[in-house]
């Protein structure tokens, strides 16, 4: 029996291994929704033998579970899909000339057939009058949504609002006096805390599992990577748990279960939940306006490691470095420049790119924020009025760096072959319009550049904050670098990033 596949599979970049074929694929999957076609029999995957041991200090959580379990519901969705025609143009006389008249040969063209796909997930009651919080992917595209309550009632549900970037949705059922799961403060959750996961895995019925908080601030990139701040847990989560509750031992909601990492699609002890604080912010906006508005600075950032800090002459590796500034953005109006290092926002120290991005996104558009910036080893304060984030359409990926370009010049210290960017190369290699610098056409796989992540088709725009337009510029910049790591600004597929490379001596 077929299933709705809410999974996204992430394979590692293939390595060239002579005579050996061995690969290990780790799979991030939406933790599941279980789906199937009504015409086929369903199958379930997972490890039913996976268990977690209770800590010695407490051997039962029955009182907590009894209190909160009525607030966790099962969500069932139906989606009508049309099967494609096998010969969609068979009635067109023009195509009959090519394929013949199949009806005359006793082969009637296949007509479109409608089938029903069903999916299973979980949800959390957040108000006594019937509002329910769940995952976006649980209800995405659904024509019919039903909610199974803990008292055996089944109610029709309507979508109040959805937010794909955070993978959250709010539903409404016509009911009153429902048990509500109180929201906890996910910021106060600590790694090592005991957590309970409640949902309907694999359709077996409401199930409670136990584990600990394994990590915080995780990103997986499955939703879109922009607004992820997952709580990681080893409490067993399987298909059907999506949208269910991750609760503390105090009986408070600390997360909405969303994804798992697995080789098989079953639980291996690596699950991810959307923090309750993020879920509350999204839910409040969906209830008020039906949509979510997010602040935006209009910059690209990356973390500052020790090599980048050394290249910039910083005393320690902290904050995020600006690798691009969008023209006309809030950041440009505030005076931010590429190469600036932002160490704090609104007085809060920046520890990584994800927390910085989420801080900006969770701030309403039009809000003024203060930024602490290191520029040329001098600290300064900038103020920016946030713009509004508008989701971009997916960029077309084009990894073809085509041949026929002029013979690259060799630069021994980096181990790459480069050529100045020309209009012909921009068209031939599908480079971003207006890019300037040196296009990388050869990379020695054992070179410092390869080790740093420089690849064919990348464009070297700057070295140590200085533009390079010729091979001579590059060689001179590397000569001035000496024994320090060189800070390269690389344009990779249209995105500018900083990389540090230790040139050969």
**Which residues does the annotation mark as catalytic?**
137, 167, 242
Element at 186 (helix H, strand E):
none
State both tokens at 214: 């394994």
Residue 401: exposure state from Cβ atoms within 10 A (0-12, 13-18, ≥19): middle
Nearest to 260 by CA among 227, 235, 225: 235
Give 497's contacts (C-beta < 8 A, 6+ positions apart): 300, 302, 323, 489, 490
Element at 231 (helix H, strand E):
strand 230-233
Give 84's contacts (C-beta < 8 A, 6+ positions apart): 112
- For 371-390, give the DSSP string: EEEEETTEEEEEEEE-EE--
The span from the CA of 344 to the CA of 64, in Å, is: 39
Q: How many helices (H) and strands (E) does the chain have?
A: 10, 29
The span from the CA of 34 to the CA of 44, in Å, is: 8
Rg of the chain in Å (alpha carbons): 27
The span from the CA of 247 to the CA of 249, in Å, is: 7
Q: How would you classify the pairing of strands 295-296 and 320-325?
A: unpaired
CA distances from 14 to 25, 262, 457 (A): 10, 19, 18
State both tokens at 339: 């190469």
State both tokens at 3: 């299933």
204: left (phi over 0), alpha (psi -120 to 50) or beta: alpha
CA distances from 420 to 408, 438, 474 (A): 9, 4, 10
Q: Please, what is the Cα angle at 48 between 46 and 52, to 5 degrees? A: 110
Chain position carrying tokens 């160490």: 343
Strand partners for 273: 231, 257
Residues 416 and 449: beta-carbon distance below 8 Å: yes
Residues 344 and 376: beta-carbon distance below 8 Å: no
Q: How many CB atoms lie within 10 A of CB 335?
A: 15
State both tokens at 290: 């039906």
278 — phi, psi (to 5°)? Answer: -65, -45
Residue 340: exposure state from Cβ atoms within 10 A (0-12, 13-18, ≥19): buried
Strand partners for 133: 124, 170
The span from the CA of 181 to the CA of 125, in Å, is: 6
């Amino acid at each position: 029996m077929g299933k709705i596949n809410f999974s996204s599979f992430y394979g590692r970049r293939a390595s060239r291994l002579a005579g050996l074929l061995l690969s290990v694929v780790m799979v991030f999957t939406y933790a599941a929704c279980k789906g199937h076609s009504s015409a086929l029999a369903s199958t379930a995957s997972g490890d039913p033998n996976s268990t977690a041991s209770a800590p010695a200090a407490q051997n039962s959580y029955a009182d907590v579970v009894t209190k909160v379990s009525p607030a966790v519901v099962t969500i069932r969705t139906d989606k009508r899909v049309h099967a494609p025609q096998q010969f969609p143009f068979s009635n067109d006389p023009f195509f009959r000339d090519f394929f013949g008249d199949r009806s005359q040969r006793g082969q009637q063209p296949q007509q479109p057939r409608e089938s029903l796909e069903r999916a299973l997930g979980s949800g959390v009651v957040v108000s006594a009058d019937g509002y329910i919080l769940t995952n976006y992917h649980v209800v995405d595209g659904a024509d019919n949504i039903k909610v199974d309550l803990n008292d055996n009632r089944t109610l029709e549900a309507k979508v109040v609002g959805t937010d794909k970037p955070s993978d959250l949705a709010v539903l409404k059922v016509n009911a009153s006096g429902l048990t509500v799961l109180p929201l906890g403060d996910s910021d106060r959750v600590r790694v090592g805390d005991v957590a309970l996961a409640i949902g309907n895995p694999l359709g077996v019925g409401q199930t409670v599992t136990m584990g600990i908080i394994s990590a915080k601030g995780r990103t997986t990139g499955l939703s879109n990577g922009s607004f992820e701040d997952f709580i990681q847990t080893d409490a067993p989560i399987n298909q059907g748990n999506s949208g269910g509750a991750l609760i503390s031992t105090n009986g408070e909601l600390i997360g909405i279960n969303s994804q798992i990492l697995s080789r098989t699609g079953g639980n291996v002890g690596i699950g991810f939940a959307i923090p309750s604080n993020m879920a509350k912010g999204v839910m409040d906006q969906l209830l008020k306006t039906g949509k979510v508005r997010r602040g935006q600075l209009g910059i690209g950032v990356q973390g500052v490691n020790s090599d980048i800090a050394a290249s910039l002459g910083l005393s320690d590796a902290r904050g995020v470095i600006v690798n691009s500034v969008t023209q006309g953005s809030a950041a440009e109006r505030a005076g931010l420049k590429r190469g600036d290092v932002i160490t704090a926002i609104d007085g809060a120290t920046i520890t990584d790119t994800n927390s910085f991005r989420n801080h900006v996104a969770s701030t309403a558009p039009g809000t003024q924020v203060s930024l602490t910036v290191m520029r040329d080893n001098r600290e300064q304060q900038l103020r920016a009025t946030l713009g509004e984030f508008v989701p971009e359409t997916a960029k077309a990926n084009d990894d073809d760096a085509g041949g026929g370009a002029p013979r690259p010049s060799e630069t021994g210290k980096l181990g790459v072959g480069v050529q100045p960017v020309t209009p012909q190369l921009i068209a031939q290699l599908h480079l971003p319009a207006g890019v300037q610098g040196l296009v990388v056409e050869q990379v020695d796989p054992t070179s410092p550049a390869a080790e740093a992540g420089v690849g064919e088709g990348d464009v070297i725009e700057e070295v140590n904050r200085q533009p390079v337009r010729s091979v001579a510029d590059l060689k001179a910049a590397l000569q001035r670098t000496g024994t320090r790591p060189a800070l390269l600004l690389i344009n990779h597929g249209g995105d500018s990033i900083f990389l540090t490379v230790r040139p050969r001596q």
